[in-house]
Structure 1
Amino acid sequence: MNNRKECDVTSFNRKDLPDVIRTNGARPNPWWANAVVYQIYPRSFQDSNNDGIGDIKGITSRLDYLADLGVDVVWLSPVYVSPQDDNGYDIADYQAIDPMFGTMDDMDELLAQAHARGIKVIMDLVVNHTSDEHAWFQASRSKDDPHADWYWWRPARPGFEPGTPGAEPNQWGSYFGGSAWQYDPKRGEYFLHQYSPKQPDLNWENPAVRQAVYRMMNWWMDRGIDGFRMDVITQISKVTDESGRLPGEPGSHVEDGPVNEEGYTSAFEFCSDGPRLDEFLEEMRREVFEGREGYLNVGEAPGVHAERNGQITDPGRRELDMLFQFDHLGIDQVGPKWVTKPFSVRALREQMRRQQEAVAERGWTSCFTCNHDQPRVASRWGDESARSAKAFGLLTHLHRGTPYIYEGEELGMTNAHFTSLDQYRDLESINAFRQRVEEAQVQSAESMMDGIALMGRDNARTPMQWDDSRYAGFMDADSSAQPWLAVNSNHDRINAAAQVHDDDSVFSFYKKLIELRHDNPVVAAGSWRLVDDDDASVYAFVRELGVDRLLTVVNLTDQPARVPSSTLQLISDQFEDAAAIKQAVVLSTTTPAGSASGLADGMLEPWEGVLLHL
């Protein structure tokens, strides 16, 4: 294990939560219990040199904006050396900055300037897989090299010519289309890749792999970063039989799953929340984080449901601080993500209820609706109005857990509204169209384009909208280059310059949400109780800490809605009239007077959300 130093403990404009208040069950309370995290997708945030790609210097130039917003932590999507097959989530060198983003000196300056503003910085850690251009993988292509067992290599199926259809070790399909196995002529074997063929899965069963990962993590922590967001970390442990064979391999005692409409079986259930996950996460905690202070680690958790989240984030188990769960983001999907169904308030509420109740006593959760892999919530579930953006912001930030804001969410940025496949850059969308429409022929081109327009990852990746200039302030308007992905055409209406000084803007609303998290212990740590658990339009819940209670009521539709009976009873028991209600309004997506009048009459306007102090 490397020698270590304590992480810089930055100062925050937050009130510390006293230890008499219970958060995740740890004592003392973790520093992040009332913090807010902001995710930056570097290639789309700010371009400082007009080459069309955002960079580290660009991020540093916008730190005052983030400080004004009030966030406590910045999470950077990958800036490491990468072939950029999956926009940096295919890492070729974990300990070097890709020149497209800048230099290590630029990274050090970003850390220094962020810390000077009381903002911590966590980096994206992608260690379920590497790039196929990483030195580890290149060495692994030789069976005689010490790295030979660092990835999941397998021979062709008996009776098949290696590299021909049907010779793959099992029938697993990649999440990005095609087989999950790629033949390597140099080694004469196949390697497993759950994602792109340029993202081979590391073999975490090998202790040497794990120790190399921990050394790299310690190197970054010693440089002064404040923790990691861990990409698909719950997929590092795979199900095998007693002889180490994967499901469906010749001779395996573990049966594979059924073949899907695209002609493949799914690796997901065998590669998510595997049998050694807890062991690996506990080891990582010991090897990297023990003895450090002021850090945050959060894991992306495909395949992990609410109850398991409560276990993995229980501080007594010493695994991860919090996880990103995705059950609530699957409520509008029918099988594959490209086949959707209408948003349901009931479905969202049920998934959120499970997440909240699973960490009621111990553990923690992440509260989010947007990130670099998800479409914009204002388009996905809202109607792209500022009020719908505020409604989902209020809902997210008033739950118990740590809120995450994805760049531009605080402005109400929307989906891209691309209309042709050549406008997209994301390999998931492009590959899915080819496989589902052209190869498997299980979805029409029109339906698939509709699915990509609603759910595609590039919706979240259009350049940040700073102002109404030609390239939205992402780069100079007179630049000879163009942004790597087209700027959303609505940047003339939705942009930071138009909002930062507007008290009624989405930006100002998010500032108030962050201030509430910092200043009000009920928001940060109060218990959570659902009210009216079956209403089709209104989502209501109570947060409580001691004698203090807050009621959140949100109409998540574009139509007027009646306040449900139990919620209305809570309000009428507490307040005599609209004037009394107005005095209790903490925050509203409309106006305090308008919300008070509506609540007194038992009605909510479209996308109206209200926070009341009971």
Structure 2
Amino acid sequence: MGLRSVSVNGDAGKTTEHPWWKEAAVYQIYPASYNDSNDDGIGDIPGITQKLEYIQSLGVDVIWVCPMYDSPQIDMGYDISDYEAVYPPYGTVQDVEALINEVHSRGMKIILDLVVNHTSDQHAWFKESRSSKTNPKRDWYIWKPAKYDSDGTRKPPNNWRSNFGGSVWEWDELTQEYYLHLFCPEQPDVNWENEETRKAIYQSAMIFWLDKGVDGFRIDTVNMYSKPTGYPDAPIKDPAAEWQEAGLVYCNGPRMDEYLGEMNAILSRYNAMSVGECPFTPDPARVLGYVSEKEARLNMVFQFDSVDVGMGSVFKYMTKPFKYTLADVKSAIGRTQKLIDGTDGWTTSFIENHDQARSISRFGNDSPQWRSRSGKMLAMLFASLSGTLFMYQGQEIGMINIPQDWPIEEYKDVDTINYYAEVGRRNPNDPGAQISAKAALQNLARDHARTPMQWSSEVNAGFTSDSAKPWMKANTSAQEGINVADESRDSSSVLGFWKQMLKLRKTYSDCLIHGGYKLVDGDNPTVFSFTKSSTAGHFKALVICNFSSKESELPLIEDLDAAELIFDNVSETQAGARSTLQPWEGRLYIVKKDTEA
């Protein structure tokens, strides 16, 4: 396995200027689970600073730190009680300032999570808002009177289901009204219709940190701020439930473009980047409206096409493991790549984050025999796609899901806990239902991304001392070689492969980052092949990935005979039969064009 020397000189002579964030590789960090510097069992900001040399060695350009703000931690920090303070177990504002300075001193950049659709119910703004109907901040959140049915029973304003189950409406006894929460009851939605509220958000959540030197934001739930007029009921997709999934109703509301324009005006003053989380947006024209350079709203968004493959349609966990085909994966990736075809928009490439299970366990094969090779194949695939590349902590060493025999009690996420309980309520006399739910969670739950980072083969994976009790149990795969220490000593590891792939991505940036994507041999049920054409037209890349634990025939693809293999994840390929793809093999070819001088 390795890079070959090639006659094509990458992008030598390329003069095209691009914004810094287009060619960046971004490394996402989940503070609670990254590195514990003081042995209290919880990761922290100084722990991130300690690992910057390692992070830089990967070849990434930007680190993205998930919410480190002060919070009651109902939803792991996505319930913020003070935007201008840090959750004490993570450290202090001064620790974040030190991290910013250390990142910049290494020539890298840093972005933070911006969570402004909702706050914690412990935020001072909400405490005032719920104190009385006449409080000046009452209108800073979304309050509605009750509805009553024919027999006088009190009902919420509509039938929307929260992202974490139950109604989105919480009754407040003191003021006798409901408030809206698209997530947990402890996460009330902010009223963006109120201009004074928006200005306070911009100052406290954005400008406060931009002035300290952060280089931009990953913006949580970026298309939920503007709610639909009249708050209409959602269509009934789940007849057995009182509350209905409503994402397509409450996302992409009438004033979204206005609000994002205001945010962009601030970010532009700092040359700061923005990447928005954009769920429930199937219309590509609407996505383009958000990321069009001309429209000046967002630099890019995360579309969820790829990570939603295999998810259930009513409840995302209401499905069976691996309920998808390779055609579904190809289609999902094609939609996100097409976004930049002939447009002034930009896209992203990712397959893991803090809200997703590990990609090897979902799309590769996490058995000891194939997990390393399939992890490398997925690295090749997603690092060869156009757009800004995002990778998640542990992805670079091929971390996998929690073992199947771990009990449900080891799962910590509110989404997991609520779903498992809901299945129990719906099926009180059917133990098989919860067995099926556990199987789906073992494949898809957010918990898998949140186990501690695996630094070594020690008991707690080197995340914290062996004598400490980590907030979440470390995956025992750390003792099976999936850890930074072991992989750093092995150039053929997943870690070594990622480092080489990131170098290759930069060498051929005109092709791999900016190039045109074209699916080839689309009907092949086990092999995913595509080309990436350089914007200058001098060469193209050909990527071939065998999504199978069995050998597959090498597809008959135009230009393959003239292509030069420059990178693969199976060392035997150099000497072995060229016409057969090994299980989970990935190959990257370069085809030199006659038009090149």
> Contact between 2:307 and 2:352, CA under 8 Å: does it hold in 1?
no
Matches within 5 A, 1:133-212: 133-141=122-130, 142-158=132-148, 167-212=155-200
1:438 aligned onto 2:415? no
Partners of 2:415 and 2:349 lie apart in 1 by 25
Number of residue-to-residue matches in the alignment: 564
1:408 aligned onto 2:394? yes
Deviations along 1:88-133, whole A, 9 cap, x unmatched?
A: 0000000101101001111111111111111211000111111011
1:343 CA drift (Å): 3.6
Once the two structures are aligned, what percentage of the paired residues are identical?
38
2:516 alignment counterpart: 527
Letter in 1 for 2:208: W
1:609 aligned onto 2:595? no
1:87 CA drift (Å): 0.4
Deviations along 1:371-416, whole A, 9 cap, x unmatched?
A: 0010000111111210000111111010111111100000000001
CA distance 1:596–1:218, shift in 2 (3 Å):
farther
1:345 alignment counterpart: 326
1:516 alignment counterpart: 504
**What is the DSSP-based 3-state SS (H/G/I as helix, E as strand, rest coil) of the residue aligned with 1:29?**
coil
Partners of 2:461 and 2:546 lie apart in 1 by 32
1:70 CA drift (Å): 1.1
Moved more, 268-277 or 45-54: 268-277
1:298 aligned onto 2:275? yes
1:342 CA drift (Å): 2.8
1:590 alignment counterpart: 570
> Contact between 1:585 and 1:596, CA under 8 Å: does it hold in 2?
no
Partners of 1:504 and 1:471 lie apart in 2 by 25
1:395 alignment counterpart: 381
1:422 alignment counterpart: 409
**What is the DSSP-based 3-state SS (H/G/I as helix, E as strand, rest coil) of the residue aligned with 1:453?**
helix
Partners of 1:360 and 1:501 lie apart in 2 by 41
Deviations along 1:471-513, whole A, 9 cap, x unmatched?
A: 1110112x2x310000001101210001123110101111112
Letter in 2 for 1:262: A
**What is the DSSP-based 3-state SS (H/G/I as helix, E as strand, rest coil) of the residue aligned with 2:104?**
helix
Letter in 2 for 1:143: K
Deviations along 1:516-552, whole A, 9 cap, x unmatched?
A: 2222232222222221121111111111222111111
Partners of 1:111 and 1:386 lie apart in 2 by 33
2:22 alignment counterpart: 33
Moved more, 370-379 or 29-38: 29-38
1:160 CA drift (Å): 8.3
CA distance 1:69–1:404, shift in 2 (3 Å):
same
Partners of 1:116 and 1:399 lie apart in 2 by 29
1:314 CA drift (Å): 1.1
Partners of 2:33 and 2:69 lie apart in 1 by 16
1:169 CA drift (Å): 1.5
Matches within 5 A, 1:455-466: 455-466=444-455
Q: 2:89 aligns with which of 97, 100, 103?
A: 100
1:260 CA drift (Å): 4.0
2:304 alignment counterpart: 326
Letter in 2 for 1:558: S
CA distance 1:334–1:312, shift in 2 (3 Å):
same
Letter in 2 for 1:94: Y
> Contact between 2:248 and 2:281, CA under 8 Å: does it hold in 1?
no
Moved more, 273-282 or 486-495: 273-282
1:501 aligned onto 2:489? yes
Letter in 2 for 1:397: A
Partners of 1:609 and 1:134 lie apart in 2 by 49
Partners of 1:281 and 1:512 lie apart in 2 by 37
1:195 CA drift (Å): 0.8
CA distance 1:197–1:301, shift in 2 (3 Å):
same
1:262 CA drift (Å): 2.8
> Contact between 2:37 and 2:44, CA under 8 Å: does it hold in 1?
yes
**What is the DSSP-based 3-state SS (H/G/I as helix, E as strand, rest coil) of the residue aligned with 1:108?**
helix
1:537 aligned onto 2:526? yes
1:570 CA drift (Å): 2.4
**What is the DSSP-based 3-state SS (H/G/I as helix, E as strand, rest coil) of the residue aligned with 1:229?**
strand
Q: 2:248 aligns with which of 260, 269, 278?
A: 269
Letter in 2 for 1:530: L
Q: 1:488 aligns with which of 466, 472, 475?
A: 475
1:365 alignment counterpart: 347
> Contact between 2:305 and 2:335, CA under 8 Å: does it hold in 1?
no
**What is the DSSP-based 3-state SS (H/G/I as helix, E as strand, rest coil) of the residue aligned with 2:252?**
coil
1:281 alignment counterpart: 260
1:337 CA drift (Å): 1.7
CA distance 1:432–1:595, shift in 2 (3 Å):
farther
Partners of 1:238 and 1:439 lie apart in 2 by 30
> Contact between 1:18 and 1:29, CA under 8 Å: does it hold in 2?
no
> Contact between 1:111 and 1:225, CA under 8 Å: does it hold in 2?
yes
1:16 CA drift (Å): 10
CA distance 1:460–1:80, shift in 2 (3 Å):
same
Letter in 2 for 1:246: Y
1:257 CA drift (Å): 4.6
Moved more, 134-143 or 414-423: 414-423
> Contact between 1:194 and 1:267, CA under 8 Å: does it hold in 2?
no
1:427 CA drift (Å): 0.7
> Contact between 1:262 and 1:436, CA under 8 Å: does it hold in 2?
no
Letter in 2 for 1:402: T
**What is the DSSP-based 3-state SS (H/G/I as helix, E as strand, rest coil) of the residue aligned with 1:283?**
helix
TM value normalised by structure 1: 0.88
1:450 alignment counterpart: 439
1:161 CA drift (Å): 10
Matches within 5 A, 1:249-260: 257=236, 259-260=238-239
Letter in 2 for 1:323: V
2:5 alignment counterpart: none
1:24 alignment counterpart: none
Deviations along 1:313-343, whole A, 9 cap, x unmatched?
A: 1111101111011122222123222113434
**What is the DSSP-based 3-state SS (H/G/I as helix, E as strand, rest coil) of the residue aligned with 1:310?**
helix
1:251 alignment counterpart: none
Partners of 1:502 and 1:320 lie apart in 2 by 40
Q: 2:75 aligns with which of 79, 82, 86?
A: 86
1:382 aligned onto 2:382? no
Partners of 2:437 and 2:84 lie apart in 1 by 39
In structure 1, list runs of 5 or more residues that go unmatched.
1-14, 22-27, 249-254, 576-583
> Contact between 1:311 and 1:317, CA under 8 Å: does it hold in 2?
yes
Letter in 2 for 1:296: M
**What is the DSSP-based 3-state SS (H/G/I as helix, E as strand, rest coil) of the residue aligned with 1:197?**
coil
**What is the DSSP-based 3-state SS (H/G/I as helix, E as strand, rest coil) of the residue aligned with 1:32?**
coil
CA distance 1:585–1:276, shift in 2 (3 Å):
same
CA distance 1:459–1:482, shift in 2 (3 Å):
same
Partners of 2:496 and 2:294 lie apart in 1 by 38
In structure 2, list runs of 5 or more residues that go unmatched.
1-9, 592-597
Deviations along 1:338-364, whole A, 9 cap, x unmatched?
A: 113434211111111121112112211
Deviations along 1:154-189, whole A, 9 cap, x unmatched?
A: 111135899x7x521112111111111111112211
1:585 CA drift (Å): 2.1
Letter in 1 for 2:269: G
